[in-house]
A and B are shown apart, each in its own frame.
Chain A
Amino acid sequence: MRRIIGFKGKSKSRIVATAAVTVAALVATIGLGTSTSSAAFKTADANTGKLVYWFWGESDIPGSTAWMQDAIKRYQAIHKGLTIELVPQNSDTLQGAFETTAQSKSGPDIAMQWATLPVLTPVWRGQVASLKGLVPPAEMANWLNTSENVSGGESWAMPLYLLGQPFVWNKALFKKAGLDPNKGPKTWKEFLATCAALKKAGITPVVVGDKDGFFGSWFQGTIGTQNLNSVKELQDVYAGKAKFTDSKYSDYLTKLAELKAKGYINSDVTSIDLTQGWQAFAQKKGAMTWTTDGNVATWIKAGMGADLGVQSVPKVGTGKLASFYTATQSISAYITSWSKNKQAAANFLVWLHQPENVKSWYTTTGSFPADKRFSASLIKDPVMKALYKLNTQPNQLWAQNYAPPQVDSQGLQPAAQGVLAGTSTAKQAAAAIQKAIDAWRTQQPKDLAAYKKWAGV
């Protein structure tokens, strides 16, 4: 061990250097610390100061982040005293990151969650400011689908765009399998027959990614609600008035298991993300998938338009909800209860809905703005026209958003993953979801009470 003494000479200069670096860094952080603390004390006048905006949208609508960045630039040019910091968020951590920051009683001024329960849960936890008094009713009257975010008679969030969840297929691959490229499957029977024909032709029938869990909930939302007659019936199961193991709720898991067992879904479904699944669809690695308007718009831009067939999902149930299309305002922006600049935040949200912005949103991203003032005559592409028609039909529902986020992330999502990985049966999966509902009900009594009050059950 004596050998180390040999280092003595060299080490001295090393220590001096380390000390110097330390001192320099100390000076630097002290400087850094004071500069940030002075920034915190800005005036609370409307349209001045700083807004932090946690934005999400890229997965629904590719190109939306760039549009928002540009919009912020234009807004800041109008309001010189205001800076808006855009912080893009990720799908898989969107809800968790907001809950974490809410617990620190600080964070963004404007945040986004998916409509209904993902928005209303933080609302019930006191983390969101009501739009009442911040946004003029005349302005709000132009916004579409605001009812998705109403609780206690007040509106809590701003819709940015409409999002449908079309069922899409690749016409070229259909042709290759000897199928009619212009006719998508309308019933479960037809769907299975289509899958069989594609598989026989050596084509993966359905390609999706479910590593992040969303697809399982989408399947529940599109296929799993078709035996129900009302939204109320859906809410009952979360409020505890019905059991998820009842086949009218859980039949979709049997169908999912059937697809898996017959090899109609890509084998790596549980090791790739939703977006990676779409990438595989665009690479023609599968013939059908569940997607969003925004992705269809992107594929059309990339020249895939002629090969794309779109429609609503095959009809599998006989309930009234079977005729509903899965559409929502998707992500909604709200103002946090701790924001020191609520009016400025509200003014910005109102500005995003001004006609010129509504129009530029559409022309840049190709997705439909959630505003009455949007003129449908701008839509030229036949595929997009069909989607717009679906999105604006009166009967629509995004059922996933009626599940409390905890039930979604701890129940609906993992249960479907178990089925897709081929390790749990439909029955086990349904039981696991019921268990997650029960766990939420015992662990979050306050959320449950608010849910019941909101749903009127």
Chain B
Amino acid sequence: MKSDQLISVGTATNSRRSERWPYLFIVPMVLIILLVFVYPLIAVVRNSFYSGSISNLSFIGTANYVNLLRDDVFVHAIVNNIKLLLTVPITTLISLAAALILYENIRGWKLYRVILFLPYIIPAAVVGLSFSYLLQGNGILNTALRNVNLDFAALDWIGSTTLSIYSIGAVIIWSQFGFGVVVLTASLLSLPTEVSEAALVDGASRWQRQRFVIIPQIKETVQFLMVLQAITALAWVFPYIYTITKGGPANSSMVMDLYIWQYGFSLGAVGMASAAAVYLLALSGVLILIYSRMRKRQSERR
């Protein structure tokens, strides 16, 4: 992510200015990006102004956009996605704490590391399936709670309209924190050890060392991780919702990607789904903007 360094590498010699091979080497990348990103992005915007099914579209202007904002379910879906964004700081904090402890070579760190990465590799659909059984009203979690006389805590995790989205949020945290541990551990391990050791000599406490020496050095990775997680929370929770609640009960756990899938494919309303996708793109655009601002500010400071 150090683009300045890139440029300095590039200017090492001037004689290769006319080389053609690099352009040939990037052709496949450009082609696949045109096919999988550029074309669909143009098409989805175009389709959002039409109604009907895929084979039979008719132009209706901005009606889809208006109808979506009038649809309580869609508005609720956006609210739910924003609620799911709350998982990002929580997941990051858990991952960061775990990674920092592992970094100190705590006894058994190797074993811990193997275990803590585990949730990350379990497919979201499998996670969803098993948690749907764990979290049912009379499911595993509640049976266990009742067995130890904690009946009051045995709530209807996925059958309650108020709880369902938070339960799904908890499942997402479970399934995502492992990735954070992996990435942050990797980032910590590639730090030069001298800095941390120097701080040790200075007599800094562990907390001071972490807060003022270590964390600032992996700040960029943390930010990057948070952006990836934010995008997951915003637009890639389909497998969890699909396998745990299918958006229910009473649409209480509806999210944007499930909504787009439902309208685009189950109900055959491509225009509505496309307009919803454009709203989603706008929201992620905001996220990208925030991220690139942060990056810019940092590189200016440097």
Residues of A within 8 A of B (CB): 1, 92-93, 95-97, 99-100, 102-103, 105, 125, 210-213, 267-272, 405-406, 409-410, 414-415, 417-418, 420-421, 423-424, 432, 435, 439, 442-446
Contact = CB atoms under 8 A, between A and B. Distances in A.
Given A418-B249, A421-B249, A272 B137 contact: yes
29 contacts: A95-B266, A99-B268, A100-B266, A103-B53, A103-B265, A125-B53, A211-B249, A267-B137, A269-B159, A270-B137, A270-B160, A270-B161, A271-B156, A271-B158, A272-B159, A409-B267, A414-B73, A414-B249, A415-B250, A417-B161, A420-B249, A421-B159, A424-B250, A435-B72, A439-B67, A442-B67, A443-B269, A444-B269, A445-B51
B266 A423 contact: no
Contacts of A270: 137, 156, 159-161, 248-250
Interface in B236-268: 245-246, 248-252, 262, 265-268
A96 B190 CA distance: 49
A435 B70 CA distance: 10
Contacts of A93: 266
Contacts of A417: 161, 248-250
Interface centre among B138, B161, B245, B249 (most CB of A within 10 A): B249
Contacts of B190: 1
Contacts of A105: 55
Contact of B137 (A213, A268, A446): A268
Interface residues of B, number: 38
A102 B267 CA distance: 11
Interface in B17-48: none
A420 B137 CA distance: 13
A418 B251 CA distance: 8
A434 B283 CA distance: 30
- Is the contact region of chain A dominated by helix, strand, or loop, or is it mixed? helix
B52 interface: yes
B73 A410 contact: yes
Nearest to B162: A423
Given A270-B160, A414-B73, A417-B248, 9 more contacts: A96-B265, A99-B268, A211-B245, A271-B137, A410-B73, A417-B250, A421-B160, A421-B252, A445-B51
Interface in B265-279: 265-270, 272
A442 B71 CA distance: 12
B145 interface: no
B157 interface: yes
A445 to B, nearest CB: 8
B121 interface: no
Nearest to A405: B267
Most chain A CB neighbours (cut-off 10 Å) among B71, B160, B162, B250 = B250
A85 B266 CA distance: 23
A99 B263 CA distance: 10
A265 B67 CA distance: 36
A268 B159 contact: yes
B138 A268 contact: yes
A421 B250 contact: yes
A387 B246 CA distance: 34
